[in-house]
Structure 1
């Protein structure tokens, strides 16, 4: 604190003091901090780092600002397992500090009184203590905790250790002080901007430029339109009410009204996705795509951009601007002209060298040289500064890169770009943004996309399964399958459909149908199967309560791909107050389950059965005589499938589970159902024979 004003009794905080307070808060943190407060502090300091041009530090602090409470749960589980396996673990954890005291040259009075409790022969005692010294935690377990190991250097080290095939992207909501003042239902829609952080990316790897972050305006609306967040949440409430009351419909008029509402809901979710893509993200959606499998295509894009830079003399473009331009032009085949031009303008004017602009900024009524980030300046000032730095106008710069984008779109060399195969994308999504259907954005169609809680869980799952990861994929076997279908006995038609499908396509699988499984069976299915299928209400994890280990699903030893097809099976739910959100996938990831697939919100059983059966038929090899998409399904709800069909489509398996998820969305005509399906965890595929 810099100054205290005795006349107003107010403390005046200057910029440097403000930063010192933030630094002290995030560095001198308790062992298990309050999750929401810890996340708020990290967001604040990340925004400060971004304003100071400290990109790597910004990315690190944002990485600490998401799903922190789940880390505490994971640490607690590890401690409980230790205690269960070794009753002396609580005692032996104090052995190392005592050893340190004995070895120290300087001993405080308090430590001396502690040593008096030990025998006089300290050397013998030291040797005795070695027998009980606790094993040192592996680094990925240390990084999960809240300690000095959570630092920028280790964050960078982790990013370099993770598979080079992955594109890791974090989406973070900006800091909002109303989180401390308002109920969640109110402040959740007060998000004016989001931060998109590229932690790893094909072009940043090429340029040796580390993580980068861009700020994207959110909730920008046209006159008369409802803000995007409010529209999504009201849409989800109506979807829930419509499905909840469906079982009470008993006449044709009510049934017709139900289907009209379902169609209206579907149109609204399409509109949400359209606004997200075209008006909210715009050209920045180019940053969400995975690395190209064919590196020659990437090299051609680099060549196009570098040619424009050389021909026009963009001598002062920063490495960040180049990475952004590479990504934008690579995706130009899927973007509109307006999206490209608008994004080029922002890249050229708002992401240049801040100090260059500060030195040549002239007087302006609305702009000050004390600006923190370039997007605080008006377009006129940005344009003038750009022209003085590069010696040509912004309009000419936009024209130059747009012409390159047009050549990529229309030329013969890069015609494959639009349908080119890509490597996995891993989203780390802020809990405030998790409800949005990011995977169904048009630019991500038929790409392998998954979500994960934070970089800590991604690194932990990677290290725990490292021996099974090849070329960025957890390599799985499809041999052992287990299922639990309709355990509550309230979804008879779903039971008929899914049990008939399983018997037809996955005849060697076993499980429970029409009855709740014993808790130990549920855990054994998760631990011993390659694929676990749950078809029923919710996520089914409550069936593990009462198991012998006393830990619920967190007591499983996950090796399976878990497919949970109930309503909201992988959504984040919140208790009242500032309680952090939780979901079934949290517990399953703590149990080291590599991937969990499920639904973000309420869904209807017939459409979900179509999606789930298509997903399994794509991913799981089968000896069935007819491919599932060719099977007659007129009486499927009665448990009858028709294999006596004339037209038989060729079998088209998909061994990449994330691509199978993407393709399975096409099995339903309802966008509301398709966009609900998401994967959380590691990229998974069946091992090549």
Structure 2
């Protein structure tokens, strides 16, 4: 182990210990306010002396490092161990009502490993490619801009990142609370379902930020949502391996797993997120947003008590939140219970309080208009998920089911990727995806004959060049993702066996990459502490604008049927009139959301995920 790595680990451990000490010291300080005079109780004298010793030790450690606070050290040496210091700082900022500061601290805790890898790419752009012509050609000005974006450490710099993004995008950042308590857990075990910080940000010249703390589920049966999903994924592998020749048992077992996953998603909605599901929705179009603001203004004008600016923003989310399909019977049947709970949380009062009842009555008067807004199409949502919850099928939550949703590891990577493509006139972000410019790689190991049979005619209809039943060379793979508008892979895994992720990183990827293999965009943990990693992150380092893939293992027949429908939709061909793809949308993320209805198995539909930028297809 190199001296640099040893030093980094040592400093990280010191910072982690300092963070824990700081946290307990803050608890002591809070207790001192209510303590009787020390001379009345020897225990209080002991507590005071111990707190003073802890404070003195913390100050001494920080002084040796030349810093005034743990947060200052963390900002210069971010790591998977030090991110808990940012979360602790965000907690204190949120208690003091400083939401922008809280969001800034929380954003620093996401994807530190990816930031280090991207920084390596920026300092050595041709790394990972043997051929200099294959590396990304980045101008010196662009390189400095991207380095500055990645090195953001101040609150004002974080706000400026939001200002650089399109005004119709909504950033929904979900961060686990107190992750560090389980950093050294035994490998193979899972922490209980955590409490969350949901940060909702609008983008553009005047960004708005709302941060809401969500408590962990209290019911014992819901204490392991992440663990239950992992168990479902493992049993799914066993079924695909052991029961393929026993059809009756196979279908019975898969149906059981379908129902278990549906229960997990339902638990996420009802017992975990509860009434705060409304924070995950995208913004409305300009006209509908104006109608919503007018309705909100009328409600507040008739209200007998004032609402703060933050409460007003939350109220807009609450009253316009989409209603699940099974709750379409009007306000009384569909919205009343969750509405009252949301309003009560907004006002910090009981659901039975007079103010809650009065505000709900005013909302009900606007039900005619609000009902239309709840069914309106939404603008893109970019989910930024914490490493401990990234494996969950968030897109299956009812408020996101028919919405354009993409994932990104962090706000910094999102802004860097957007800047890289938005300033290039030839980028598919600017021009749109030309559906006639594609390349396919079909069963390169030549061991999926049924997949070849189902998909060959579909790929033939596209007119694209492609490879079937043959392993591609590195040059063929590189050319496909750097020069085409669309690259579709139908085979085992992510395709990294044909072009390793380390080689992908050194490229400047142009194409929308669609990976129809098992667990193709899965982020797997590496040890106890470090951020999870997967091939999709290699593609993002290579500036890939968008990657579509699977979170876990899927069956070939169901995936092939999905592939056929999506390829035709991407070509602009109308689908079955009875499906959501009867008239395919041009928005890639929305097209993916509606393609889930083509899957027979809920397990397959829930695995389908989009990473990257919202893109449009041109036919």
TM-score range, shorter chain: 0.7 to 0.9
Structure 1 position 47 matched with structure 2 position 88: no
Output the TM-score relative to the length of structure 2: 0.82
Match of 1:432 in 2: 388
Structure 1 position 167 matched with structure 2 position 170: yes
Residues 61 and 476 of structure 1, relative CA distance in 2, 3 Å threshold:
same
Residues 23 and 600 of structure 1, relative CA distance in 2, 3 Å threshold:
farther
CA deviation after TM superposition for structure 1 residue 210, in Å? 3.2
CA deviation after TM superposition for structure 1 residue 227, in Å? 3.6
Match of 2:610 in 1: 679
Match of 2:14 in 1: none
> Is the contact between residue 286 and residue 328 of structure 1 (CA under 8 Å) also seen in structure 2?
yes
Q: Secondary structure at the match of 2:53?
A: strand
CA deviation after TM superposition for structure 1 residue 139, in Å? 5.2
1:143 to 148, 166, 176: 148
Distance in 1 between residues matched to 2:310 and 2:107, nearest whole Å: 19
Distance in 2 between residues matched to 1:534 and 1:511, nearest whole Å: 10
Structure 1 residues 113-152: aligned runs within 5 Å: 138=143, 140-146=145-151, 149-152=152-155
> Is the contact between residue 474 and residue 683 of structure 1 (CA under 8 Å) also seen in structure 2?
no
2:111 to 59, 62, 67: 67
Match of 2:376 in 1: 420
Match of 2:339 in 1: 340
String of CA shifts for 1:353-393, please: whole Å, max 9, x gaps: xxxxxxxxxxxxxxxxxxxxxxxxxxxxx66xxxxxxxxx9
Distance in 2 between residues matched to 1:449 and 1:323, nearest whole Å: 21
2:555 to 584, 604, 617: 604
> Is the contact between residue 194 and residue 215 of structure 1 (CA under 8 Å) also seen in structure 2?
yes
Structure 1 residues 247-646: aligned runs within 5 Å: 247=244, 249=245, 254-293=246-285, 295-315=286-306, 317-331=307-321, 333-334=323-324, 336-349=335-348, 395-409=353-367, 411=368, 413-467=369-423, 475-503=432-460, 505-506=461-462, 508-545=463-500, 551-621=502-572, 629=576
Structure 1 position 234 matched with structure 2 position 185: no
> Is the contact between residue 171 and residue 202 of structure 2 (CA under 8 Å) also seen in structure 1?
yes
Residues 301 and 210 of structure 1, relative CA distance in 2, 3 Å threshold:
closer
Residues 224 and 244 of structure 1, relative CA distance in 2, 3 Å threshold:
same
Residues 551 and 12 of structure 1, relative CA distance in 2, 3 Å threshold:
closer
CA deviation after TM superposition for structure 1 residue 225, in Å? 5.8
Match of 1:11 in 2: 53
CA deviation after TM superposition for structure 1 residue 12, in Å? 3.6
> Is the contact between residue 75 and residue 144 of structure 1 (CA under 8 Å) also seen in structure 2?
no
Q: Secondary structure at the match of 1:197?
A: strand
Q: Which has the larger radius of gyration?
A: 1
> Is the contact between residue 511 and residue 544 of structure 2 (CA under 8 Å) also seen in structure 1?
yes
Match of 1:81 in 2: 125
- The number of residue pairs the alignment matches comes to 556
Match of 1:379 in 2: none
CA deviation after TM superposition for structure 1 residue 164, in Å? 0.4
Q: Secondary structure at the match of 1:426?
A: strand
Residues 321 and 525 of structure 1, relative CA distance in 2, 3 Å threshold:
same
Distance in 2 between residues matched to 1:286 and 1:471, nearest whole Å: 32
Q: Secondary structure at the match of 1:664?
A: helix
Q: Secondary structure at the match of 1:443?
A: helix
CA deviation after TM superposition for structure 1 residue 330, in Å? 1.0
Distance in 1 between residues matched to 2:100 and 2:594, nearest whole Å: 36
Match of 2:10 in 1: none
Distance in 2 between residues matched to 1:139 and 1:239, nearest whole Å: 46
Residues 399 and 325 of structure 1, relative CA distance in 2, 3 Å threshold:
same
Distance in 1 between residues matched to 2:174 and 2:579, nearest whole Å: 43
Q: Secondary structure at the match of 1:544?
A: coil
Structure 1 position 57 matched with structure 2 position 105: no
Residues 421 and 332 of structure 1, relative CA distance in 2, 3 Å threshold:
closer
2:218 to 211, 220, 236: 220
Residues 226 and 651 of structure 1, relative CA distance in 2, 3 Å threshold:
closer
Match of 2:183 in 1: 180
CA deviation after TM superposition for structure 1 residue 5, in Å? 8.0
2:591 to 643, 660, 669: 660
Distance in 2 between residues matched to 1:576 and 1:83, nearest whole Å: 25
Distance in 2 between residues matched to 1:226 and 1:145, nearest whole Å: 35
Residues 672 and 450 of structure 1, relative CA distance in 2, 3 Å threshold:
same
Distance in 2 between residues matched to 1:304 and 1:139, nearest whole Å: 45
Q: Secondary structure at the match of 2:289?
A: helix
Match of 2:8 in 1: none
Unaligned 5+ runs, structure 1: 86-133, 350-381, 384-392, 631-646
CA deviation after TM superposition for structure 1 residue 520, in Å? 1.4
Q: Which moved more, 1:171-180 or 1:448-457?
A: 171-180
CA deviation after TM superposition for structure 1 residue 26, in Å? 3.1
Output the TM-score relative to the length of structure 1: 0.74
CA deviation after TM superposition for structure 1 residue 308, in Å? 3.0
Distance in 1 between residues matched to 2:86 and 2:372, nearest whole Å: 41
CA deviation after TM superposition for structure 1 residue 30, in Å? 7.8
Unaligned 5+ runs, structure 2: 1-21, 30-45, 130-138, 325-333
Structure 1 position 244 matched with structure 2 position 219: no
Q: Secondary structure at the match of 1:537?
A: coil
